[in-house]
Amino acid sequence: MITRREILQVGAATAALASLPGSLGLGPLGRAFAQQRLTEAELLAFEPLGNVTLLHVADVHGQLVPVHFREPSVNLGVGDAKGQPPHLTGKAFLERFGIPEKTAAAYALTADDFEALAKSYGRIGGLDRLATAVKSVRAARGDDKVLMLDGGDTWQGSLGANRTRGQDMVDCFKLLKPDAMTGHWEFTYGEARVKELVDQLGFPFLALNVRDTEWNEPVFAPYKMFEKGGVKVAVLGQAFPYTPVANPRWMMPKWSFGIREEEVRATVAKARAEGAQLVVLLSHNGFDVDRKLASRVAGIDVILTGHTHDALPVAVAVGKTLLVASGSHGKFLSRLDLDVRNGAVQGFRYKLIPLFADAIRPDPEMRAAIEKARAPFAGELARVVGHSESLLYRRGNFNGTFDDLICDALMAERDAEIALSPGFRWGTSVLPGAPITVEDIHNATAITYPQVYRMKMTGERLKEILEDVADNLFNPDPYYQQGGDMVRCGGLGYAIDVSQPIGRRIQRMTHLKSGKAIEPGTEYVVAGWASVNEGTEGPPVWELVERHVAAQKTVRLQLNSTVTVTGL
Amino acid sequence: MCLAARERFGKEIEDMRFNRRQAMAIGIGGLAGASLLGVSGPALADKKEADEAIAKFTGGKTPIMGKVKLELPEIAENGNTVPIAITVESPMTAASHVTEVLVLADGNPRPGVASFRFSPASGVAEASTRIRLAATQNIVAIAKMNDGSVFMDSKQVKVTIGGCGG
C-alpha cells in the first residue's frame, strides 16, 4: 500500500539523501562521521535511580547477529488506541517524542529515510552487543539490584533456530543469565520440545495463563518472587494469549491459553499477599491488550510488553502502571530504574537503549557462543541467492516488499493467480544493492509449518478470510486482537475501511491479473503458506522463494498500490 | 496463510490431506455477528427464540446487569469445546440465594446451552462446563434469585478462522 502521504515522504527522503554523508559516496568515512556521536559510553549512559533495575528484551526472533530492521511506516490504532503510542509512525512519532530527523534515534525507531540512514548508522543488535550492555549495567548497578527479563519470541525466526528447534537461542541466551522468560512462538516447537528446553534454561519460564486442557491445571509457574535492592519483587509471566488460534493448535493440543484477566488479578493479589512490594507483568499480550489490562487490573506496577514489536522511547503510564515497549529483533535493551519504598513506586527513570552494532563492543564470550551456534550452517547462511535493487522489509499493517516478493514467488512457483502470505511482524530487512542470502530468506520464513498449499477458493471465501484477519487487527476492543498485521495478498487488490465492523471492512476486491472484480461465486487458484491446519502438504516456502529469487537474479519490486485504506 | 477456512468451505484441495477431524470441523467458525438483549449487530433468526427463552425464565422481568460473572475466552481456541464458568454473588442463605442460572448462546442453532439449579445447601453459586459455539456470538447468563429478582452478564466470544498472529 502506498498513500499519497507516503509518496510525499518518499520524495522527502530522496531530497534528504544529498545532505547525508553516507550517501555521498564517502563510504567508511560517512559511517565514521555518523558514529562520532555514537559511542558505547553514550548509548549506555544512565544516571541510576532508586533501588531496583529492570532490564527487558523481547521478540528477538532468533536473531543472534546484528540486523537491519525497518520499523513500520503504517501502524494504525483503532478505538481508544487511535493516534496513541505505539500507533505513531514517521514524523508524527519523531515529533511526539522530540527526536530530530535523520538522527541515530530516528533511524532506530522509524521507517523514514531508512535506506540512507542504514548506510550511515549500520546494523543494530546482536546478542554479543546485548551481552555487553547487560554486563555493563550489572557491573555498574550491582547484580543484587538488577532483574533481567526476556519477553519471549526468542527461540524462533531464523534458519539456525528452526534447524536446532530453538537450541541455538537457548544456549546463547543462557549466557545472558535472564531471571525469567515467557513465550509465544516457542510453543510452535511442540509441547515436548518446549518442556525439554525449559528444563535446560536454569531460569523459570513463567506463564500464568497456560492451563492443561484436561484438568485446567497450570502448565508453567505463574510467577516468581525475587529480592532485589532490598525489595520483594514478583514477576508474573503472561504468554501470548492466542497462541492456539494464531498458530497451529495441533502443536500444543493439551495446552489452553487466553488473556484470563481474572487469573492475572488473582495472581497479583496472591503476590501482594506474599509481600511483593513491586509487581511486574512480563507479558506477551501485545501493547494494546496490556494497555487495556492495566486499566482494569489494579496492583501491577510495571508491564514489560511484547508481541506487537513496538519500540517506544518512553514508559507509558496507565493509571499507576508503567508500560515498557522494547522493540524487536534484538535492536534494543530497555532499562527501567525504580525507586520502590513503602510498598510503592516513588519514582522511575527509563531508557530504551538502541544497540548500534558499530558502536557497542561485542562481548567475547557471547561472540564465541554465537560463532559456535552458527558454524554448522555458516556456508548455507552466507550463500547468495540473488540481489535486490529494492529495499526488502516486512513490518507494516498492510504490505511489505519482502511479502510482495514472497507472494510473487508463490504465484510463479505454484502457478496460482492469487497468493496469501501471513502478516507476521518478524523478518529482517535487506538494503537495496545488497545480496539476498539464504539467511535473509529464512529470516522472513523460518517456521515449523512452512508448507505452501495450492487450492481453489471462491471469492466469497477470500472475502471472509480478509475480513477475519482485519478484525484480528482492527477490532476496537484490544482483547479481540491477535497482534499480527494484515494478511498480505498477491494478485488481489482491495479497499479497507478500518473503522467498520467485521464483514464491512473489505470492499472492491479486484483480481489484478484481469482487472475484474472478484466475484463471490467464482473460484480462484490460491497459493499460501503457514496454514494452521495439521496435515497441510506442499514444499517449504523458503524453497520457493529461493527458486524464484535465483530465477530473477535481480529483484525489482514496483510500488505496491493494491490496497486502499480509509476510515483512519 | 493461515487457514482453517478451508475446513468450512473446502472444495478442491490439492497437496493437502483432508482428514475426518477436519471434515467434522466444517460448519465451525463463521463470521456471523449477533444480537441479543440490545447488543448491536446484524439480527439473527435465533434472537426471537433467545428472547422468548429469557422472558419465560424471568417471568417477563428485565434482568439487571450485575451480580453474575461470566468467564469465557474472548476468542475460542476450539469452537467445539469452549470452557465457561459462571459465578453469582450471593450469601446463599435460606433468606437470600440463587435458585437457577440459565445460559444462552444466541448464535447457536438452538440458543439454550445449560441451566443450573441451586439451593442454600449449594454453599456457593458457581458452575463450570464446556459448551459448543457454532460462530462468533454473545453468551448470556441469567440468574434468578429466591425473591424473584433476575441478574445477568453477557460476553462476546469470537470464533475465528485463525492464523496470521504475530
Domain regions of chain A by residue span: 1-36+68-122, 37-43+52-67+123-373, 383-566
**Which residues 43-102 of chain A have a CB within 8 Å of chain B?**
none
Is pLDDT above 60 for B22? Answer: no
Q: Which residues contact A127 (CB under 8 A, 6 or more apart)?
A: A60, A63, A64, A65, A172, A173, A176, A330, A366, A370
Contact at CB, A523 and B12, closer than 8 angstroms: yes
Residue percentage of chain A with pLDDT more than 70: 93
Provide mean pLDDT across the span A115-122: 96
- A317 Cα to chain B: minimum distance (Å): 24
CB contacts of B14 in chain A (<8 Å) are: 453-455
CB contacts of A467 in chain B (<8 Å) are: 31
pLDDT at res. A293? 98
Contact at CB, A456 and B6, closer than 8 angstroms: no
Report the residue of chain A nearest B21, measured CA to CA.
A534
Within an 8 Å CB–CB cutoff, is residue B83 touching chain A?
A: yes
Provide mean pLDDT across the span A392-398: 97
Is pLDDT above 80 for B82? Answer: yes
Contact at CB, A531 and B2, closer than 8 angstroms: yes
pLDDT at res. B50? 86
Superfamily grouping for domain A37-43+52-67+123-373: Metallo-dependent phosphatases (3.60.21.10)
pLDDT tens digits, A6-30? 333 322 332 232 222 323 333 333 4
Which among A12-16, B4-8, B104-108 has the top mean pLDDT?
B104-108
Q: Name the more confident of B114 and A271.
A: A271
A138 Rama sector, left if φ>0, alpha if ψ -120 to 50, beta otherwise: alpha
Count of A–B CB contacts within 8 Å? Answer: 168
Contact at CB, A480 and B75, closer than 8 angstroms: yes
Which of A284-298, A383-397, A456-470, B98-112 has the weakest average pLDDT? B98-112
pLDDT at res. B163? 67
Please give the Cα distance from B31 to B29 (Å, whole number): 7
Is pLDDT above 90 for B165? Answer: no
DSSP-assigned letter for residue A403: H
**Which residues 99-138 of chain B have a CB within 8 Å of chain A?**
136
DSSP codes of every residue in A299-356: T--EEEE-SS--B-SSPEEETTEEEEEB-STT-EEEEEEEEEETTEEEEEEEEEEE-B
Is pLDDT above 80 for A404? Answer: yes
Cα three-residue angle B75-B80-B84, rounded to 5 degrees:
60
Within an 8 Å CB–CB cutoff, is residue B4 touching chain A?
A: yes
Within an 8 Å CB–CB cutoff, is residue A537 touching chain B?
A: yes
pLDDT at res. A34? 53
pLDDT at res. A116? 96
pLDDT at res. B46? 58
pLDDT at res. A289? 98
| Contact predicate A161/A103, CB 8 Å | no
Contact at CB, A286 and B166, closer than 8 angstroms: yes
| Contact predicate A115/A432, CB 8 Å | yes
φ and ψ of A566, to 5 deg: -135, 180
pLDDT at res. A219? 98
Contact at CB, B12 and A456, closer than 8 angstroms: yes
Is pLDDT above 60 for B21? Answer: no
Q: How would you label A447-475 residue by residue, b for 16+ Cβ within 10 Å and e otherwise?
A: bbbbbbbbbbbbbebbbbbbbbbbbbbbb
Please give the Cα distance from A338 to A345 (Å, whole number): 7
Within an 8 Å CB–CB cutoff, is residue A469 touching chain B?
A: yes
CB contacts of B133 in chain A (<8 Å) are: none
At residue A461, the 3 state secondary structure works out as helix
Name the CA dihedral angle for A566, B3, B7, B11, rounded to a multiple of 10 degrees. 80
Among A197, A273, A182, residue whose Cα is nearest residue A235: A182
pLDDT at res. B164? 58
Order of strands across the sheet with B82-88?
A: B68-71, B82-88, B125-131
B31-157 CATH, one of 2.130.10.10, 1.10.150.120, 2.60.40.2470, 2.170.120.12:
2.60.40.2470
DSSP codes of every residue in A51-117: SEEEEEE---TT--S-B--PPPS-----GGGTT-TTS--HHHHHHHHTPPTTSHHHHHH--TTHHHH
CB contacts of B17 in chain A (<8 Å) are: 535, 537
Q: What is the CATH number of domain A383-566?
A: 3.90.780.10
Is pLDDT above 60 for B25? Answer: no
Under the banding of pLDDT at 50, 70 and 90, the label for residue B109 is: confident
pLDDT tens digits, A246-267? 999 999 999 999 999 999 999 9
CB contacts of B16 in chain A (<8 Å) are: 453, 455, 531, 533, 535-538
pLDDT tens digits, A485-497? 999 999 999 999 9
pLDDT at res. A8? 31
pLDDT tens digits, A505-547? 999 999 999 999 999 999 999 999 999 999 999 999 999 999 9
Contact at CB, B15 and A537, closer than 8 angstroms: yes
The residue with cell 516488499 is A401
Is pLDDT above 50 for B35? Answer: no
Instruction: Give residue B114's identity as a one-letter amino acid code.
Output: A
Within an 8 Å CB–CB cutoff, is residue A265 touching chain B?
A: no
pTM, entire model:
0.89
DSSP codes of every residue in A138-163: HHHH-GGGEEEEE-S--S-SSHHHHH
Contact at CB, B163 and A423, closer than 8 angstroms: no
Provide mean pLDDT across the span B119-126: 94
Contact at CB, B3 and A502, closer than 8 angstroms: no
| Contact predicate A248/A449, CB 8 Å | yes
Contact at CB, B2 and A536, closer than 8 angstroms: no
Within an 8 Å CB–CB cutoff, is residue B33 touching chain A?
A: yes
Query: Mutual orientation of helices A191-201 and A167-176 as an angle, nearest 10°?
Result: 30
pLDDT tens digits, A310-348? 999 999 999 999 999 999 999 999 999 999 999 899 999
Give the closest of B14, B16, B76 to A535, CB-based: B16
CA distance from start to end of chain A = 14
H-run or E-run covering A287: helix A287-296
pLDDT at res. A37? 67
Is pLDDT above 70 for A378? Answer: yes
pLDDT tens digits, A137-190? 999 999 999 999 999 999 999 999 999 999 999 999 999 999 999 999 999 999
Residue percentage of chain B with pLDDT more than 90: 58
pLDDT tens digits, A177-234? 999 999 999 999 999 999 999 999 999 999 999 999 999 999 999 999 999 999 999 9
Provide mean pLDDT across the span B34-53: 53
| Chain Cα centroid distance, residue B14 | 36
